């Protein structure tokens, strides 16, 4: 089924909106349920293509699951480690976090290579190297990722700040009696959620949110109830939507600590916003904001999030002067700029990682494609501030990462229609 969005732009967004649960946190927490005895209950889980795909994998492995009104219940007592075919993992890069829990519990993890968005080279090498340092043997082939062996607690030095490798390691280490130290650990908010999750299950974690994390594992771990944190990436998109449509939004369930670099960039960008820490609410005033060109460099947390780079690139088209975007983490993440050019954006792509965006440029409604989850959100933003009507194709990418984004925007006054063909 092909899904498109039809958007009529030029309407300031006004009103209140609540940020949903974080997909990037929910996926490793779902995978971590394999480690626990009893019923794991996760609340505030977004109902997305990716979270549903992870539940299908867990059911394939033998778990009993239910999903109702944002609450997932999982019993993993009957789970068995068996090869996971491509039909389950080829469209879900996040399925790779299952490697750690399966290895820790069963001594073997085997699956077709996980897929997902095309964002340049995103190899599994960090995962393989990490678990080899804990005693696993790499038996992978050209078609299958296959690790096996009895893991032992120890010292792991990751070859890069890999979010999913860190999450998978933390999950595995939680079930290994003894102490495991992880250096060059990623520290993103969703990684911190995994660390808090295993700590609630009975492991002890030192260095939550740091780049060196120590996990004191235990066996067995106890199933727990846990609320998934709000999605700071969705919050960023909503903030930018208000900014570029010259609207006024009050956005609830925003954790400022997750967006420190992003919000500081907005301050330098000329955005007018105010945060209420007690209510976890951010008010953004696009009407009073005066956007000026700036330079952004993505980085590992707490730096500017790579997943907000494309939405920020759209905002730069509405700023006065020459802005510079430097994507430091992934290749292929500037492809959305070609779609923006179709809409009239003035862009100079310097190389695979750097581009100049010259503004302010009025955007015109066109038919554009959603190249990946975050580029899809960027196209929605471009459509909201463009003159005329925009059709966005390949919406399946957007709906892998954002829970009912079109509904939320309609509630704020946007003219956006979801069309199924």
Q: 305 exposed, middle or buried (CB, 10 Å; 0-12, 13-18, 19+)?
A: buried
Cβ neighbours around 111 below 10 Å, total:
25
- Regarding whether 282 and 140 lie in a shared domain, the answer is no
**For residue 42, what are the β-bridge partners?**
72, 226
Rounded Cα distance, 113 and 173, in Å = 23
pLDDT tens digits in sequence order for the chain, 421 residues long: 789 999 999 999 999 999 999 999 999 999 999 999 899 999 999 999 999 999 999 999 999 999 999 999 999 999 999 999 999 998 788 899 999 999 999 999 999 988 643 333 346 889 999 999 999 999 998 888 999 999 999 999 999 999 999 999 999 999 999 999 999 999 999 999 999 999 999 999 999 999 999 999 999 999 999 999 999 999 999 999 999 999 999 999 999 999 999 999 999 999 999 999 999 999 999 999 999 999 999 999 999 999 999 999 999 999 999 999 999 988 888 999 999 999 999 999 999 999 999 999 999 999 999 988 899 999 999 999 999 999 999 998 899 889 999 999 999 999 999 999 8
DSSP-assigned states of every residue in 81-138: --PBPHHHHTT-GGGGGGHHHHHHHHSEEEEEPP--S--S---SHHHHHHHHTTT-EE
Range of the domain at 306: 3-20+230-420
N-term to C-term CA, the chain: 6
State which of 207, 227, 247 marks the end of a domain: 227
Catalogue the active-site residues.
117
- Same-domain status, 179 and 237: no
Report the domain count for the chain: 2
Q: Last residue of some domain: 227, 249, 272?
A: 227
Q: Could you give the C-alpha distances from 368 to 60, 70, 376, in angstroms and in order?
A: 36, 32, 9
List % helix, strand, coil for the chain (3-state, nearest 5): 35, 30, 35
**Cis peptide upstream of residue 207 (ω within 30 degrees of 0):** no
Q: In angstroms, rounded to a whole number, what is the distance separating the alpha carbons of residues 359 and 91?
A: 36
On whether both 209 and 319 belong to a single domain, the answer is no
Distance in angstroms (rounded) separating the CA atoms of residues 78 and 86:
22
d(CA 301, CA 312): 17
Q: Are residues 291 and 209 located together in one domain of the fold?
A: no
Q: Based on the domain organization, do 11 and 54 belong to the same domain?
A: no
- Say yes or no: 221 and 241 in one domain: no
Tell whether 176 and 308 lie within a shared domain. no
Supply the pLDDT for residue 329. Answer: 87
Domain identity same for 284 and 186: no
Same domain, 204 and 292: no
Whether residues 45 and 83 share a domain: the answer is yes
With CA atoms as reference, report the closest residue to 35 among 199, 157, 152, 232.
199
| Ordered alpha helix ranges (H), 122-281 | 125-132, 163-174, 189-201, 232-244, 260-269
CATH code assigned at 339? 3.65.10.10
Nearest to 194 by CA among 27, 19, 20: 27
Of 187, 204, 227, which marks where a domain is finished?
A: 227
Helix count (H) and strand count (E) of the chain? 14, 25
Q: Which pLDDT score, from 0 to 100, does residue 163 have?
A: 95
Q: What pLDDT, on the 0 to 100 scale, is given for residue 117?
A: 38
- Measured distance CA(36)–CA(74) in Å, rounded: 10
Question: Quick one: 286 and 395 in the same domain?
Answer: yes
Please check whether residues 325 and 280 belong to one and the same domain.
Answer: yes
């Amino acid at each position: 089924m092909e899904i498109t969005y039809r958007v009529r732009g030029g309407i300031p967004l006004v009103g209140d909106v609540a940020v949903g649960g974080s997909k990037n946190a929910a996926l490793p927490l779902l995978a971590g349920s394999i480690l626990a005895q009893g019923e794991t209950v996760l609340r505030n889980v977004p109902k997305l293509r990716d979270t549903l795909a992870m539940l299908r994998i867990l059911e394939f492995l033998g778990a009993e699951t239910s999903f109702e009104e944002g609450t997932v219940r999982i019993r993993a007592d009957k789970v068995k480690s068996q090869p996971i075919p491509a039909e389950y993992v080829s469209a879900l890069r996040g399925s790779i976090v299952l490697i750690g829990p399966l290895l820790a519990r069963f001594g073997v993890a085997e699956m077709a290579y996980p897929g997902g968005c095309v964002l340049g080279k995103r190899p599994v090498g960090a995962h393989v190297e990490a678990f080899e340092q804990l005693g696993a043997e790499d038996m992978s082939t050209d078609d299958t990722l296959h690790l096996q062996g009895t893991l032992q607690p120890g010292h792991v030095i990751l070859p890069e700040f890999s979010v999913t490798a860190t999450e998978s390691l933390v999950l595995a280490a939680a079930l290994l009696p003894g102490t495991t130290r992880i250096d060059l650990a990623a520290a993103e908010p969703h990684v911190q959620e995994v660390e808090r999750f295993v700590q609630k299950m009975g492991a002890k974690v030192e260095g939550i949110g740091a780049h060196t994390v120590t996990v004191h594992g235990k066996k067995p771990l106890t199933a727990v109830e846990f609320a998934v944190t709000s999605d700071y990436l969705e919050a960023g998109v909503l903030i930018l939507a208000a900014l570029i449509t010259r609207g006024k939004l009050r956005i609830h369930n925003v954790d400022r600590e997750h967006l420190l670099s992003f919000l500081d960039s907005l301050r330098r960008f000329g955005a007018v916003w105010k945060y209420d820490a007690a209510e976890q609410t951010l008010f953004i005033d696009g009407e009073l904001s005066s956007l000026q060109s700036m330079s952004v460099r993505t980085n590992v947390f707490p730096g500017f999030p790579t997943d907000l780079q494309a939405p920020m690139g759209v905002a730069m088209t509405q700023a006065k002067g020459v802005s510079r975007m430097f994507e430091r983490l992934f290749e292929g993440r500037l492809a959305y700029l070609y779609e923006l050019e179709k809409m009239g954006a003035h862009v100079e792509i310097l190389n695979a990682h750097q581009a100049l965006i010259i503004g302010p440029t009025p955007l015109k409604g066109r038919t554009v494609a959603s190249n990946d989850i975050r580029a899809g959100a960027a196209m929605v933003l471009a459509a909201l501030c463009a003159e005329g009507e925009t059709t966005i194709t390949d919406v399946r990418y957007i709906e892998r990462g954002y829970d009912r984004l079109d509904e939320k925007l309609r509630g704020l006054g946007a003219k956006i229609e979801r069309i199924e063909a």
